[in-house]
Structure 1
């Protein structure tokens, strides 16, 4: 049975309110580069000779130790902490809802404060525990512009891009909730563990198209992979795109993380329907960008995501065309059983057909694991994220459960 945590009781709300975003005039330090942080400190009167040291201290406290209160920064003087509190914030977003699936998957609905004249916005972030690793699925936008026909997120219109700090805050909050930061009892000696981390992998596969928010995603991932901070290896960070070709080239040159392509069809006419961005960047153009991605090898392959839709893209002819399409590209194909959501027009392929499809692709020399659906019971699986404040009605939840029981018991 899935668990939804009650975050409205007095003690829990008090703890969360302490982390909630404070007055909007406070400038966020999370998401600033080192040079930007130094400039921000200069703006509030921190002497030039101290700025480098202060940036190093703040960087360590924010990203290595994960503190969200300046008063916990034990090696910074009280006077300096008071100055920081008057001008800056390192607060976490508010947790509106936390759900825990029967399989251990966790989903957080987070609320970020208004920007300018805008309203508060909400996004969903998902944590997937697996043997030997834990993967955090991070959002880059509130809503999405792409309207992929099989994706629940695509039914929510784009509200705005997330800032660099809001992208990083999802990682920090997840590590908070999972107990994945060291304690703050001493100011010295915090070490980044070589293994045993609960959040060991990051995938930019949450809400939105990351490459339509390129600059904020770029800086967030560079900070996440910084060896003196969160220190997540670029080989453990995967950015998934539906095919924004110009920014695929920039991703390889400027970020250098692993690449995943949300493919789902091997013919332009079908992909135009499933992934409408294909009309702008058709398969030939997309495949060339993949072939040109820097550093490709058997050790650094592109992942192609392929959702299995019954009677739509799951035939052996499709499998043969997929192998032809990817010829010459070091690749892995993730086969994704379609995850239902209320109102969706598609069905998941029969399990026997998915296995036949996978066997053909495997025999052609491509790894083609079938992704085990995770968090379906809390709408946390691939393609199910949606952050509208008005949650599903009881009738919609019952309809979803009926679809899962009737059509997907085998997986």
Structure 2
């Protein structure tokens, strides 16, 4: 059966945009602007984008930076038989330890040397903040060069999610995001990205993440879901993020044995990298941080929109769905009087439906409110109407359950300061 051609998107007229009966159709339009800091800008006055890291030193090579073949070759180089690689894998990826005192199956006289050579320290915990009920922990890590990054561990019914960072800082320069205020320091290494999960699993095994108790006989708890929604733009550190993803899903003991379907990679819309991700044969969940369906607003809200427009990003997201069969998530932070107008919900629904049905899900995200700021959460009735308009147009939408607001660990709050 011949496929039905996709309707071409077209500009939305002012008459279509303004609905006098709508709660959210008020004329007020707040424009994005950085508050309390100055965005780095190009000579032409546009927000400066950093796609490549400055020339900096990466951390020493770690066991998690290596492929399995490289690990076997390394232990042989150190004068040990090949089977020692499996033992080291088991310690790190299954028992979540690189402490030589725990490696009792290795030659006693070699343990300290092996750990020093193969497991250089990557993350040093500077501090942690916990919610009152203990089901969310924000970790502040110092890296080998003094750079600071954060990750957030969250318990939900039936799953444990870790929000990981992929860069020290971020070069995407979005005016509402705390992470991007200092720009990009450097890309994180593959092992630094992996070690966040290992460290989180170690904390869980020690009982440091409070919440539901494991029944006797149940498998040991560990991180089940990962979201690349911490510090940095994951697709701007493409090679190392992909290597980390493959280590996440590699069966234990050679990797962490996670399900690719429980891993979400989020991007502000680096279109060539989205298309590359679709070819990786790695069925992760893909999330596009859209936040506005019209280029006029998104140019200022998400500066990378200068490079790849809304329709280009949506086309790439749809192609990801076509290639992988995995439903795409659209992330949409609802900001009072800025992007929460009813006509924008209608426009978003039209653009998504123009590309097909059943391929996408929208996650409206309540912005963390700041009294008196232009960056303030939408009112509840406005949020409800925005979601209702999407659902009435056949677009499934679920309001995000944000975690960690009280410890500055929610979306857009990760600033990595002591």
Regarding TM over 0.5, the answer is yes
1:112 is aligned, of 106, 125, 143, to 143
Alignment of 1:127-276 (within 5 A): 127-179=153-205, 197-228=221-252, 229-254=255-280, 255-276=282-303
Higher RCO (C-alpha under 8 Å, 6+ residues apart): 2
**CA, structure 1 residues 194+158, in 2 after alignment: closer, same or farther (shift >3 Å)?**
farther
Residue 312 (structure 1) aligns with: 338
Q: Output one character per residue of 1:326-356: Cα deviation in whole Å (capped at 9) or x when no partner.
A: 1216111111011146995321110111011
Q: Which runs of 5+ in 1 are unaligned?
A: 1-23, 115-119, 182-192, 390-411
TM-score of the superposed pair, with normalisation by structure 1? 0.78
Alignment of 1:225-374 (within 5 A): 225-228=249-252, 229-254=255-280, 255-293=282-320, 300-327=326-353, 328=356, 330-340=359-369, 345-374=374-403
Please state how far the C-alpha of 1:252 moved relative to its aligned partner.
Answer: 2.0
Q: Secondary structure at the residue paired with 2:397?
A: coil
**CA, structure 1 residues 26+337, in 2 after alignment: closer, same or farther (shift >3 Å)?**
closer
TM-score of the superposed pair, with normalisation by structure 2? 0.77
Please state how far the C-alpha of 1:78 moved relative to its aligned partner.
Answer: 2.1
Separation in structure 1 between the aligned mates of residue 417 and residue 220 of structure 2, nearest angstrom: 34
Separation in structure 2 between the aligned mates of residue 70 and residue 143 of structure 1, nearest angstrom: 32
Mapped contact 2:59–2:189 kept (Cα < 8 A): no
Mapped contact 1:265–1:271 kept (Cα < 8 A): yes
Residue 111 (structure 2) aligns with: 81
**CA, structure 1 residues 121+211, in 2 after alignment: closer, same or farther (shift >3 Å)?**
same
Separation in structure 1 between the aligned mates of residue 288 and residue 67 of structure 2, nearest angstrom: 28
Q: Output one character per residue of 1:214-262: Cα deviation in whole Å (capped at 9) or x when no partner.
A: 1111111110111123111000000000011111122222243110000
Q: Secondary structure at the residue paired with 2:320?
A: coil
Separation in structure 1 between the aligned mates of residue 63 and residue 183 of structure 2, nearest angstrom: 29
Q: Secondary structure at the residue paired with 1:304?
A: strand
Please state how far the C-alpha of 1:85 moved relative to its aligned partner.
Answer: 3.5
Please state how far the C-alpha of 1:365 moved relative to its aligned partner.
Answer: 2.2
**CA, structure 1 residues 86+380, in 2 after alignment: closer, same or farther (shift >3 Å)?**
closer
Q: Output one character per residue of 1:380-400: Cα deviation in whole Å (capped at 9) or x when no partner.
A: 0111101134xxxxxxxxxxx
Moved more, 75-84 or 268-277: 75-84
1:41 is aligned, of 38, 54, 75, to 75
Aligned length: 345
Mapped contact 1:44–1:87 kept (Cα < 8 A): no
**CA, structure 1 residues 150+194, in 2 after alignment: closer, same or farther (shift >3 Å)?**
farther
**CA, structure 1 residues 350+357, in 2 after alignment: closer, same or farther (shift >3 Å)?**
same
Q: Secondary structure at the residue paired with 1:387?
A: coil
Residue 397 (structure 1) aligns with: none
Mapped contact 1:314–1:354 kept (Cα < 8 A): yes
Q: Secondary structure at the residue paired with 1:151?
A: coil
Please state how far the C-alpha of 1:146 moved relative to its aligned partner.
Answer: 0.6
Please state how far the C-alpha of 1:286 moved relative to its aligned partner.
Answer: 1.1
Separation in structure 2 between the aligned mates of residue 273 and residue 197 of structure 1, nearest angstrom: 42
**CA, structure 1 residues 324+296, in 2 after alignment: closer, same or farther (shift >3 Å)?**
farther
Mapped contact 1:26–1:86 kept (Cα < 8 A): no
Separation in structure 1 between the aligned mates of residue 61 and residue 272 of structure 2, nearest angstrom: 32
